[in-house]
Amino acid sequence: MKSLRKCLCLIALLAWAGSAFAELQNISVGGQVRIRGRYWNHSYSGPNKTNPYSPTRVGGRAVGPDGIGSVYTWDDTRTAYVEERTVLGVRAEFTDNVSAYVEIDSFETWGDDFRSADYLRGVDTRAQTVDDIELVQSYIDIKEIGGSPVSARIGRQGIKLGKGFLLGESPSPTSFIPFDGIRLTYKEDALTIDGFWFKLADNMTDFGKGDIDFYGVYATYKLCEALELSGYYFYVRDDRAVVDNADATVMERVWEHIWDLDDYGTTNLHTVGLRANGKAASFDYDLELSYQFGQADALGSMLKLRGYGDPDAEFGGWAGDVEVGYSFDANWSPRVFVGATYYSGGDNRKRSFLDYLNPFYRPEASVSFNRLFSTMPYMSTWDARGGSATFTNYYAVRTGGLLKFTPVLSSGLLASYYWVAQPWDEPVSALSSLVPWWTQEADRNMGLATSLWFQYDYSKDLSIKLTWEHFFSESGMTDGNFLMHYGTMFTGGTADSDTDYVCLDMLVKF
């Protein structure tokens, strides 16, 4: 209630502030309630990580900040829970094309609050609401500034550009992650240009010093229904201080200077991309291609060996997604499609026999394509922690179809096969702790995922969706590879059992 009162006070303040240059015309209230029951079989390891290999078997290798632990087992485990997201938004519209919007939300899993597990004594307490209600959006909109085709949105806001390949606000249906900053939009006829600056972290010192800033430009031109072209440039600047040894002695500092250790600079992640999409007759298509480059010092500091990371790490990789579909003019409005996805990977975790003999050996950081703020999860089997949108270092092909049986009942089927782009070198046997250079390349084959869903639109406000996904796991899942968290977390397990994911999703908007 305290958070709600703060929200209402903020709305009142915005309305009062806006009256200085515009009159309040209208206030509207809206929101949604989304409830999802979810079940995983043979995939998620639970709160404790699986360790397929003992630390000694991968000793002397810069495996990453999470070591060799995995949140998956691909074995005899089950996970089930019900999650709920509640959203309430208020928009105040003024004259002179000015409006303000405030949105709060709360995400819970059933059983978190109010009723306690101590039913034996009946000691139920009030909910701990410290992390429940969040102010997820709070911004001011100014349209057609000075009579121009330029609009501005200032404040905490969600943003999704294109299909969300690299930038969106909802990694999963029940999560919403906004940005703080400024977005300018130029829109005239067929041309739309978005430019933004978002503050990802602020050290509260000099402007930009010690901060993380996210800049970007996204332009779209619609030539016709058959061709819409987009081009973009995203830039993440991470100026946080990174050190391996903060309390170094004078001799250690001399050693670090000689060998260029503990010398991290500003991380600069540049991403450029192109997208083409459209519809022609019964065909539709969507093609997107991105390339990254720049200094990856912050990532290099995470992959340490003998206490030091790689200050010379660099981004450099490709990613792409393509889909082509065909819609039939027939009963049930069938549509079939084929597609493919690719995220480049990097794995330099292998060390040769000579590397182990060299006391001055310094590993290169393993840098895979960074998906930035993607909202394309692809497969829910990997999504027990919302991690599917952080998977990289793989490629996949897919095919499927959609049917609309009635105006309110539709269905879809999807089949995708996944491979690892850059596999890691796993220990051959337990003897690898004695001869750690004895390794073999992990299997690239991850497996085939099939997904079937039905959606019933009870009304324009209420929809119900049932999804079943089955993953035919291959030995690449047992071997494991560094795929999750943009290639920094291991995904191996103790078996390669087939997995199932079932989800019942109910959404009401108001």
Residues 296, 238 contacting (CB under 8 angstroms): no
Q: How large is the greatest C-alpha to C-alpha distance in the chain, in angstroms?
A: 79
Residue 137 has pLDDT above 90, yes or no: yes
Distance in angstroms (rounded) separating the CA atoms of residues 138 and 176: 13
Greater confidence (51 vs 277) lies with 277
In a domain, 328, yes or no: yes
Average of per-residue pLDDT values in the chain: 87
- Cα 452 to Cα 29, 49, 414: the distances in Å are 35, 29, 7
Cβ–Cβ < 8 Å for 40, 468: no
Strands 462-473 and 409-420: unpaired
* Residue range 284-293: mean pLDDT, rounded: 98
Question: Would residue 125 count as lying in a domain?
Answer: no
* Residue 498, pLDDT above cutoff 50: yes
Within a domain: 117: no
Which amino acid, 6? K
Query: Highest-confidence range of 116-125, 243-252, 500-509, by mean pLDDT?
Result: 500-509
Confidence (pLDDT) at 437: 82
Half-sphere CA count of 38, side-chain side, radius 13 A: 23
Q: What is the per-residue pLDDT across 9-45, written as a single tens digit (0 to 9) for each?
A: 544 444 444 444 568 889 999 999 999 999 999 888 7
Q: Is the pLDDT of residue 7 over 80?
A: no
Q: What integer pLDDT is reported at residue 48 of this predicted model?
A: 67
Residue 356 structural domain = 2-112+130-509
Q: What tokens appear for 161 in the block?
A: 């550009």
Asked which of 57-61, 166-170, 256-260, 478-482 is least confident by mean pLDDT, the reply is 256-260
Q: Which of 379, 29, 359 is closest to 172 using CA atoms?
A: 379
- pLDDT on residue 429: 74
- The arithmetic mean of pLDDT across residues 168-177, rounded, is 87
- Inside any domain, residue 119: no
Q: What is the CATH number of the domain that holds 416?
A: 2.40.160.100
Q: For residue 39, what pLDDT is reported?
A: 93
The tokens for 86 are 């509640």
Q: Is residue 401 part of a domain?
A: yes
Does residue 124 sit within a domain? no
d(C-alpha 466, C-alpha 477), whole Å: 26
Where does the pLDDT of residue 479 fall: very low under 50, low under 70, confident under 90, or very high at 90 and above?
confident
The burial of 280, by beta-carbon neighbours within 10 Å (0-12 exposed, 13-18 middle, 19 or more buried), is given as: exposed
pLDDT for res 11: 47
What distance in Å separates the CA atoms of residue 471 and residue 465, rounded to the nearest whole number? 20
pLDDT band at 254 (very low <50, low <70, confident <90, very high): low
Quote the distance between the C-alpha of residue 380 and its chain's center: 13
Total number of domains in the chain: 1
User: Model confidence over 360-399: pLDDT tens digits?
Assistant: 788 888 999 999 999 887 788 877 655 667 899 999 999 9
Q: What stretches of 98-242 adopt beta strand conformation (E)? A: 98-109, 133-142, 150-157, 179-188, 191-201, 212-224, 227-238
Higher-pLDDT residue of 157 and 108 is 157
pLDDT at position 422 is 94
Domain membership flag for residue 98:
yes
Distances (CA, A) of 480 to 42, 351, 384, 470, 496: 15, 18, 17, 19, 10
* More confidently predicted of 222 and 431: 222
What is the structure's pLDDT at 129? 65
Amino acid found at 270 = H
Of 47-61, 79-93, 282-296, least confident by mean pLDDT is 47-61
CA distances from 468 to 74, 315, 410, 475 (A): 17, 37, 15, 23
Q: Provide mean pLDDT across the span 243-262.
A: 67
Residue of higher predicted confidence among 492 and 452: 452
Q: Can you name the residues that pair with 325 across neighbouring β-strands?
A: 284, 337
**Please, which pLDDT band fits residue 6 given cuts at 50, 70 and 90?**
very low
Distance, in Å, from the CA atom of 141 to the CA atom of 152, rounded to the nearest integer, reads 6
493: in domain: yes
Pick the range with the lowest mean pLDDT from 48-57, 79-88, 262-271, 483-492: 48-57
Whether the pLDDT of residue 349 is over 60: the answer is yes
Mean pLDDT across 87-91? 96
- Is the pLDDT at 98 greater than 60? The verdict is yes
pLDDT tens string 450-463: 999 999 999 999 99
Say yes or no to pLDDT of 55 above 80: no
